[in-house]
Amino acid sequence: MSAIAETAPAGRSAFRRFIGGYGQEMVVLLAIVVLFVAVGAVNPRFLSDTNINSIFAGNAYIAIAAIGMSMVIVSGHIDVSVGSLIGVIATLAGTLAVSGAPIWVAWAVPILFAIAVNAGVGALVAYMRIPSIVVTLGMLSILKGGLISATGGKWITDMPEGFMIAQMRLFGIPSSVYFMVALTALAALFMRYTDFGRAIYAVGGNLEAARAAGLSPERTVVGVFAFHGFFAGIAGIFFATQLQIIQSTVPPNLELTVITASVIGGVSILGGTGTVVGSTLASILFACINSALIFLDISAYWLRAVLGLLILGTVLADMARRRRAA
Sign of CA dihedral 243, 248, 251, 252: negative
| Distance (Å) of CA 188 to CA 9, 32, 82, 83, 276 | 24, 20, 21, 23, 6
Measured from the CB atom, the residue of 29 and 137 that comes closer to another protein is 137
Is 123 among the residues that bind another protein (CB under 8 A)? Answer: no
| Distance (Å) of CA 14 to CA 10, 11, 19, 20, 114 | 10, 9, 9, 10, 41
Measured from the CB atom, the residue of 166 and 263 that comes closer to another protein is 263
Measured from the CB atom, the residue of 13 and 299 that comes closer to another protein is 299
Is 259 among the residues that bind another protein (CB under 8 A)? Answer: yes
- Choices 39-47, 63-71, 163-171, 314-322 (CB under 8 A): range interacting with another protein: 314-322
Least distance in Å: CB of 208 to another protein? 17
Residues 131-150 binding another protein (CB under 8 A) are 131, 133-135, 137-146, 148-149
Measured from the CB atom, the residue of 244 and 253 that comes closer to another protein is 253
CA 125 vs. chain centroid, Å, equals 20
Least distance in Å: CB of 47 to another protein? 27
Is 18 among the residues that bind another protein (CB under 8 A)? Answer: no
Which listed residue (130, 164, 181, 294) binds another protein by CB under 8 A? Answer: 130
User: With the CA atoms of 141, 146, 149 and 152 taken in that order, what torsion angle do they form, in degrees rounded to the nearest 10?
Assistant: -90
Which listed residue (98, 108, 181, 303) binds another protein by CB under 8 A? Answer: 303
Is 185 among the residues that bind another protein (CB under 8 A)? Answer: no
Number of residues that bind another protein (CB under 8 A): 47
Least distance in Å: CB of 57 to another protein? 24
- Choices 111-119, 181-189, 212-220, 250-258 (CB under 8 A): range interacting with another protein: 250-258
- Choices 47-55, 98-106, 172-180, 295-303 (CB under 8 A): range interacting with another protein: 295-303
Strand partners, 149: none
Is 294 among the residues that bind another protein (CB under 8 A)? Answer: no
Least distance in Å: CB of 152 to another protein? 7
Least distance in Å: CB of 159 to another protein? 25
Q: Report the distance separating Cα 107 and Cα 165, nearest Å.
A: 9
Backbone angles phi, psi at 174, to 5 degrees: -60, 145
Measured from the CB atom, the residue of 103 and 256 that comes closer to another protein is 256
Which listed residue (26, 196, 315, 321) binds another protein by CB under 8 A? Answer: 315
Cβ(183)–Cβ(176) below 8 Å: no
Strand partners, 169: 174
Return the closest-CA partner of residue 293 out of 57, 55, 56.
Answer: 55
- Choices 13-21, 47-55, 130-138, 195-203 (CB under 8 A): range interacting with another protein: 130-138
Q: Which residues are at the interface with another protein (CB under 8 A)? A: 78, 124, 128-131, 133-135, 137-146, 148-149, 152, 252-253, 256, 259-260, 263, 269-270, 299, 301-309, 311-312, 315-316, 319-320, 323
